[in-house]
Each structure stands twice: as structure tokens, then as C-alpha cells.
Structure 1
Amino acid sequence: MDIFYAIFCIFTTTILLLLLLFSALVLRIFLGKSIKNPNYPPVVGTVFDQVFYFKRLYDYQTGAAKKHKTSRLLAPDQSEIYTIEPRNIEHILKTNCSKYSKGQYNQEIWSDLFGRGIFVVDGDKWKQQRKLASFEFSTRVLREFSCLNEKEDILSRFLVESNKDPKTVTDEYLRDIILNFIIAGKDTTANTLSWFIYILCKNPLIREKVAQEIGRVISCPTNETSVSDFVESITNEALEGMHYLHATLTETLRLYPAVPVDGRCAESDDVLPDGFKVKKGDGVYYMAYAMARMPHIWGYDAEEFRPERWLKNRMFQPESPFKFVAFHAPRTCLGKDFAYRQMKIVSAAFVHFFRFRMSDDTQNVTYRTMLTLHISGSLNIHAVPRTGLSEA
């Protein structure tokens, strides 16, 4: 009997402690957050909402954004502000960027993966890495893309830098830098191409428009050219002439951005252009996935896949980087042009030689909630050779 009583006491004490801890956490979340103050963004929930809606997080954020263009989720130590307002994004990334950083909290979370690479660092380290890496992504280097005997790769440039400052540019620092660029170049491009293939399966008319354009700018008969010969025939002029393909890839990035949510941390109190106040320590996040689905930003057909929205007189026309934030506005991704070239070469070869269709037209294709926008599970498709086939 004493044993059961002891177990009961331990159990009830544990439950009581958990309730007290939970109450303290809830109190800490709501304390001092100016919940009903109209000067601050409206509160739509707490960070627990993100856990509850985790599997469909970006759709949850889209729904919240349709009600409030700027809103807050409450967290224990600060608020998390989410916005789809282009003027707010311009404010935190350009106009008043000195008041916003990646934040110590985010750096601590991601340092195990990214170390001191460009995705995590701020200030002088960020400027150093961006400056040295920018040489490899210049238009000249991308056009020539042949430097067998010259030290014009990223690692070689940083190795030269390490000789100048061996105490700062250590082996671990070099490892972090290279890992960041590998991750940046792999996941984002691969994910976008996966969504691109999915879009072609769902939109055969768009697929054939892309194929026709490729046929015009690259004169290579399908049944007379190998894949390697076809790729070798893709010139810089041909790539620049693929306006519809460029628009289709950009529309893919609009609806399925490689990084669906990104943001900064406020280093001091501030006021956003829409009038809402930000407290020091608050996270301010912009939601690329949600923005793409807003009629007031992209028109009544915002949720429709329509490459033509990027074309004027059949020429590609870019949008404001604060409206189309897939490449993070003024701090534009260094690999933007390189990524487009990669994707255009690969997708041109795919579309020139194959027609794609879903193995199961009833498959519900959705995303997996991660740092980048992966397709959840697998995308099962059939690649049908174009040679000898009638028009699909």
C-alpha cells in the first residue's frame, strides 16, 4: 500500500510541476507583449500554433496573411512578426537594414549545420564571404566558365585569404564556407526543378510552349542529336533567348519558392512603413509562399500558374525584388544567375527529349515543411521520349 501511495504522490507531484511550468511559460508568452495595443501588429496566436499546423504550415500562414497583412505570433522572449507587405520587406532588407540582423537566436539554432558560413554570419564576415565569392558568379565567369589553370574557384580564393589571415580563416572556417555554398546550390535548384517538372505534368500546353521555344532557339532535331551534343549546342545567346522558359521557371519560383519564409531580427525598436511597431529582439519574417497567393500583390489570378505574367512583347520582364522575394531582394542570392543557367540547361534538355506525365493523376502533391520547399514523399512520373511520337 505504501508503494502505491508513493507512486501516486510522485505522479501527482509531476503533473502539478508540469502544470506550473506550462502556466509559467504561458504567462511569459503573454506578459509585456502589448497584445491589445493597436500600434503593434495584431496577435493571431502563439508559436504553439506553428507546431499544431506544422504539416501545412505555409498554408496556415497564407490563411493568416489573407486576414492580416502584418501579424504577430507570441513567443516566450519576443514576438514573431510576419508580413507580406512589399514596403515592409523593403524597409527591413534595404531602407533600414542596419537595424536588422540574422539574430543571435537564429545563429545559435543553425550554427551546428552552417557553422560560420554566409547563411548565418553578419557584418564583416558576411561582407568578406560575399565579396570573395562574388567573383565566381560574375557574368564574365559564367560566360567563360573555363579556368583549368587559374585559381578562380571559391575554395582557392579563400585559401589565398587564409594565407593572409591564418588566425581568422581557419580550416573550420573554410569548411563552413564551402558547406554553405554546397547546400545553397543543391537543395534550392533541385527543389525548383522538381516543382517545374510537376507543373509541366499538370500543364501540357505550357510544356509544349516551352518545347517550341527551345526548338526555335536551338536548331537540333530530336531524333538526330544525342543529349551531350544538344547540351553542347546551347550557347549564351540561346539561353538569353529562352524568355518563355525563363518565365516558366520564375513562375515556378513564385508559387513554390525555394525558401518559403525568411526574415531578420530587430536590433532596436522600430516602426514599419505600415505603421506597426517592432520591439528590439522581435523577429520580422516575410513569407514568399504566402505572398505568391495574394490577389492584391499578383492580381485576381495570383494562385494560377501563368508564365505570361512575366512577359511583355514576348520578352521577360522582372518584377520588384520586394514583390518577388525568391532571391531575397537587395541581398540578392549570389548564385541567382548561375542557378537560372543551370536550370535552363537541364530543363531545356528534359523538355526537348521528353514529355512528362504523372504516373497517377490523382496523386496529391504537396510540400514537406522544412527550411526549403521539398515535395513531400516522391513525385512519380513517366518520361516519354518525343522521338517518333505524335503530339500529346
Structure 2
Amino acid sequence: MGMAWPASLAGILKAYPEMLLATACFILFRRLSRNRRLPVCWPVVGMLPYVVTHVHHLHDWTADVLRESRYSFRFLGPWFADKEVLLTCDPANVNHIFNVNFSNYPKGGDFADIFDVLGNGIFNADAESWRSQRRMAHALVSHARFRVFLARASRDKVRRSLVPLLRLAAERGEVLDLQEVFTRFSFDSSCTLIFGADPGSLSPDFPSSPFAHAIDVAEKVIFIRHVMPKTWWKALRWLKLGHERRFAEAWETIDRCVAKYISQRRELQRSGPTAQMTSAPKGVEGEEGEGLDMLTSYLQQQAGTGTSDVEFDRFLRDTALNLMIAGRDTTSAGLSWFFWLLSTNPEVEAKILEELRDQLPAEYHAGTGGDGLAVFDPVELSKMAYLHAALCEALRLYPPVPFEHKAPLKPEVLPSGAKVYERTRVVVSIYAMGRMEGIWGKDCKEFRPERWISETGKVKHEPSYKFLSFNAGPRTCLGKEIAFTQMKAAAAAIIYNFKVEVVRAHVVAPKLSIILHMENGLKVTVTRRHK
């Protein structure tokens, strides 16, 4: 397979001769360092040429560098960038940064600049703003009515949209991009939980969604900002040129779509309980006919805050977008890699299928999804240890968020012995962490769910600083249960009802993005298991 740079990065090389110079320097001196496995720091350009030449497989190259350097490596950029990066996947460093000395590693100004589209939401927030938002989010996800709403919405989305779509594809013998299916599934599910409205993007005709497309554009540009010197992309942002112009347009679309949802929900709030009881998406009404989505919950609390509608709407916009990106992309990426791993490990799929058959309640054998297709209840799925273990194993090998970056307020020495300063950006490669023998054993590159099963048959706990897919420490992801509920509901229904086969010769590779999507999607065919 030949080297194929993303079009956006190729454009960067043409537009900025400094990067061409860096590449030329690397080619010139490559013979002198051909026996070195670790990058060499060249005058002026630093180690930038190595990034350019390995950008087509950046995650695996980073893992190789960290393996060779014993889990930590200091990357020195060009002189004009005035930045250094400490790459690490050392669990001791992770525990120290994310937990022990958490207060020394806020998100900071650089992070907020890169992710400016997220506003003052929980991902960018620090100090009291972050604590306040986390308290509100924790109160929502732990609320009994929200949990009921989550379980019912997840099951019904699978029953009403996902299963019928796959049944139709099986009948027609069509090739599906399963990654696209999961992205639409998680987009609709996230909109339901956050806005109380299902946009219906998982319809068989795959309708376009300006909101979803704008989020895709924003994520691509955010990744470019990670690899481009800050002064360059800030200049483009100010001039509104290139990818930053597309970013600005996407931002406007995002604001418009979120504002529409907030306005609709606020009107329902003002209309009284009767209107709210009839506003839940079809098929996800609560026990009393009302679903507790995020907007409804937060709007009910506004009266006690003393804030104006304009100010509170800005808060709702930032909160909703943060949760939307977190919910949509991580779940879809996790499911995509999970099914690809199942396709290459049929023995794991067989064990999951056996577990589903053994624990399927008698009333479900007749099928509840229509045409004899079974759909599982999240309560029953929570008892299935092997399915949970297989999902954890997929997230270990292919974490939806492949890296995290932090910056210290004060200089210090990390447990690995590496020194960090105010200008040091610490990048934790979660992707590399799952591929280190010293962390996960000699079989670290194998897809083996059994590593998550204890001797008693229960799911084994691994510390979050070792299994970082849901973050660690005070910022541990509050949506972990939501993600597992949605992934299990989708995975169980698909595995039990359909045989999924990846199209022969289809190339699967990680995409260069802040989310670990697949570069070419996941092209599959599906056939019915039971008729």
C-alpha cells in the first residue's frame, strides 16, 4: 500500500515552504541516521521532518517511538515554533498528570484556542466553571428518569432504525459502510438524549445532515491545528483562508442548528407539562410519557440560577455541543473497530453469540424487532460479561480518542524522570499504551477479551491510568455508562441477527483525526442468521 497523504496536509506543504525545507533536510541527512530508530533533532527544523514522513501512519509510528524510548520521548519542533512536546504512554506519568497532581495540568489557553468551537463547555473549562458543569452533568446522568430514558431510547433506536436498515441491506445484498451506519446511529441517539429530538439520519436513504457535516469539518480542522504551528493556523483563522474558512462556516452551521433545538425546547418548556409529555421522540416515552433529555433537565434548573435567557442559551449551546461530539464520535468509532476485530477473530464472535443465546429471555426468542429479529433489553445486556469484555478489548486496542494533551502550570519532574516546563506540551498516546508489552503483556497486540474476565467469570477492573479510553482522575468520562449502553444494544442486535463480513480486499486503516475513525470506512455485507 503506497503512501497517501491527506489532501489537507498536502495543501499545507505547498503553502508553506518551511515544511518543504524540513522534508528536504530529512531526505538529505537520512543516510546518516538510517540505523537510528528514534528521531534526530536537526538544526532549525528540529524533528518536524520525521512527522512529515510518517504522517501516513502517525499513530503506529508514535507507538514504535515510545516502545523504543521506554514509554517517554521528548519531541523537539522547529526553532520558530518555540514548543517542545513530551510524548508518553507511561501509566505512572498518566496517573500523576491525570490524578495525583491534577491541579497542575488544567486544559489551559492552548487547548481552549485549538478547541475554540466548543466555547466554555466542560471540555475547555477549568477551575470552578468545570466543577460546576461537572456537577450538573453528573446529576443528569445519575438521575433515575434519565437512566430509564437512556435504556429505552437505545433499545428503540436499534429496533426502529438499525435492525430494519440491516435487514433491508441483507435482502438486497447491498454493501454497507458500517462506520457510516454507526455514525448515523450515534448521531441520532445523541440528539435524542441531548435535545430530545431524533433527526432520523439513519433512514435507509441516508439523508444529509448539515449539523453532522459541520461537526465533521470542525474535527478535521482541529486535527490540523494539532500538527501545524500555532502562529500559522491563527493567521489563517484571522484571514479566514483555507481550512480555517471552512471551519468558520461550519461553526456558523453548528450555532444555527443548536440554537434551533434550544429554541424549540424552550418553547415546549413554556407551554407547560402537557406539551412536554407529547414531545418525546416516537418510541421513547418515559413511564409518564416524558423523557428526561439534557435540554429539558437544564432548562428546568434555569430559574434557580438567576441568569438571563441569552446568557443561559450560550451555556446550553456550549454544553450541548461538547456532549454531542463526545457522544456521537466515540461510540461510532468504538463500534466500527469492534466489528472489524470480530471479522478477523471469528472465535470471539462465536463466544458472544453463545452468550447472547444462553442469556436471551424466553419471550425474546420469538423476536421483538419485527420479522423474527430479536432486540435486547439493556438490563439483560448488562449481565453479559463476555460482550462487555470484548468491547473493552476493542477500546484498548483502538481508543476512540487516540491521544490526550496537557500543559503544566509549574515545572516538575514526572515519575519517569522526564522534566516538564510551562512551554512543554505533554501528549499521552492512548493508542500506543494499548500496544506496550510492559503494560498489557506479550499478547498486547492480540484481540483477547479473556484478559478482562476474572476467575469467577466477572468483568475484571483495570485502573483508568492503564485503560485510558474514558480518561482518568477527576475528569473521568461521565458518559461511560451511556456509551456502553448504546454499544451493547447495537452490537448484541447485530451479532444475534446478522452475519457481518468485511468486503474482500477492503483496506482498514486509522484516519488522521482527533477521533480514531477508519480512513476508508468499513465496507461490509450482511446476511440473516435466523429466518
Q: TM-score band (shorter)?
A: 0.7 to 0.9
* Superposition pairs of residues 88-237 of structure 1, within 5 angstroms: 88-112=93-117, 114-138=118-142, 140-141=144-145, 143-145=147-149, 146=286, 152-163=292-303, 164-166=305-307, 169-219=311-361, 224-227=366-369, 234=377, 236=379
- Give the one of 434, 437, 461 matched to 1:318: 461
CA contact (8 A) 1:222 1:386 kept: no
When structure 1 is superposed on structure 2, of 97-106 and 214-223 the one drifting more is 214-223
Distance 1:18 1:192, change over 3 A: closer
| Aligned-pair CA distance for 1:139 | 7.1
Hey, what's the Cα distance between the residues in 2 that align with 1:78 and 1:125? 28
Indicate how the Cα distance of structure 1 residues 194 and 71 shifts in structure 2: closer, same or farther if over 3 A, else same: same
Give, as a single letter, the amino acid of the residue that structure 2 aligns with 1:159.
Answer: L
CA separation of 1:148 and 1:256: change in aligned 2, threshold 3 A: farther
1:156/1:200 CA distance change after superposition, 3 Å: same
Name stretches of at least 5 consecutive residues in structure 2 with no aligned partner: 1-15, 26-38, 150-285
CA distance in 2, matches of 1:62, 1:139: 40
For residue 60 of structure 1, report the CA deviation from its aligned partner: 1.2
Which structure 1 segments of 5+ residues have no match? Answer: 1-16, 27-41
1:386 aligns with 2:529: yes
Distance 1:369 1:230 in 2: 37
| Equivalent position amino acid for 1:52 in 2 | T
CA–CA separation in structure 2 for the residues paired with 1:176 and 1:276: 36
Contact kept? 1:358, 1:381, Cα under 8 Å: yes
Cα pair 2:374 2:497 within 8 Å, conserved: no
In structure 1, the residue matched to 2:519 is: 376
Distance in structure 1 (CA, Å) of the matches to 2:315 and 2:431: 32
- C-alpha deviations, 1:45-64, integer Å up to 9, x for none? 63453343222110111011
Cα offsets for 1:252-287 (capped at 9, x unmatched): 000000100002111111110112111113111211
Distance in 2 (alpha carbons) for counterparts of 1:58 and 1:18: 25
Larger strand fraction of residues: 1
Cross-structure match for 1:367: 510
Match of 1:246 in 2: 388
Equivalent residue for 2:487, pick from 324, 333, 343? 343
Moved more, 51-60 or 243-252: 51-60
Would the alpha carbon gap of residues 142 and 249 (structure 1) be closer, same or farther in structure 2, given more than 3 Å must change? farther
| Alignment length (residue pairs) | 352
Task: Verify the 8 A CA contact 1:100 1:267 in the aligned structure 2.
Answer: yes
C-alpha spacing 1:332/1:148, structure 2 compared with 1 (3 Å): farther
**Deviation at 1:152?**
4.2
Is 2:146–2:292's contact at 8 Å kept on the other side of the alignment?
no
Which segment drifts farther, 102-111 or 365-374? 102-111
1:55 aligns with 2:31: no
Q: Does the Cα contact within 8 Å between 2:140 and 2:297 map onto a contact in 1?
A: no
CA distance in 1, matches of 2:416, 2:521: 41
Post-superposition Cα deviations, 1:321-351, rounded to whole Å, max 9, x if no partner, equal: 1111000012211100111011111111111
Q: What's the TM-score, normalizing by structure 1?
A: 0.82
SS at match of 2:415: coil
The residue identity in structure 2 corresponding to 1:340 is: F
Which secondary structure state, in structure 2, belongs to the residue aligned with residue 101 of structure 1?
coil
Q: CA deviation at 1:298?
A: 0.5
Question: How far did residue 140 of structure 1 move?
Answer: 3.7
Q: Name the CA distance, whole Å, in 2 between partners of 1:372 and 1:352.
A: 28
**Aligned counterparts of 1:195 and 1:210: Cα–Cα separation in 2:** 16
Measure, in 2, the Cα distance between the counterparts of 1:352 and 1:221.
15
Does the residue aligned with 1:253 lie in a helix, a strand or coil?
Answer: helix
Per residue, is there more helix in 1 or in 2?
2
* RMSD (Å), alpha carbons: 2.8
- How far is the alpha carbon of 1:317 from its aligned partner? 0.5
Aligned: 1:70 with 2:72: yes
Residues 1:377 and 1:136: Cα distance change in structure 2 (over 3 Å)? same
148 and 281 in structure 1: CA distance in 2 versus 1, 3 angstrom threshold: farther
The answer for the alignment partner of 1:4 in structure 2 is: none
Deviation at 1:210, TM superposition (A): 0.5
What TM-score, normalized by structure 2, do the two folds share?
0.62
Displacement after TM superposition at 1:222 (Å) = 8.1
| Counterpart-to-counterpart distance in 1, 2:126 and 2:40 | 29
- C-alpha contact 1:151 1:157 (8 A) present in aligned 2: no
Partner SS, residue 283 of structure 1: strand
The alpha-carbon deviation at position 116 of structure 1 amounts to: 1.6
Cα pair distance change 1:149/1:48, threshold 3 Å: farther
> In the alignment, what sits opposite 1:276?
418
| Secondary structure of the structure 2 residue equivalent to 1:227 | coil
Instruction: Report the Cα distance in structure 2 between the residues aligned to 1:150 and 1:224, rounded to whole angstroms.
Output: 29
How far does residue 165 in structure 1 lie from its aligned partner after superposition? 3.8
The answer (yes or no) to whether the contact 2:66–2:88 under 8 Å persists in 1 is yes
Q: Residues of 2 paired with 1:110 and 1:187: CA distance? A: 16
Deviation digits for residues 155-182 of structure 1 (CA, Å, limit 9, x no counterpart): 2343345442426943222111101111
* 8 Å Cα contact 2:66-2:89 kept in structure 1: yes
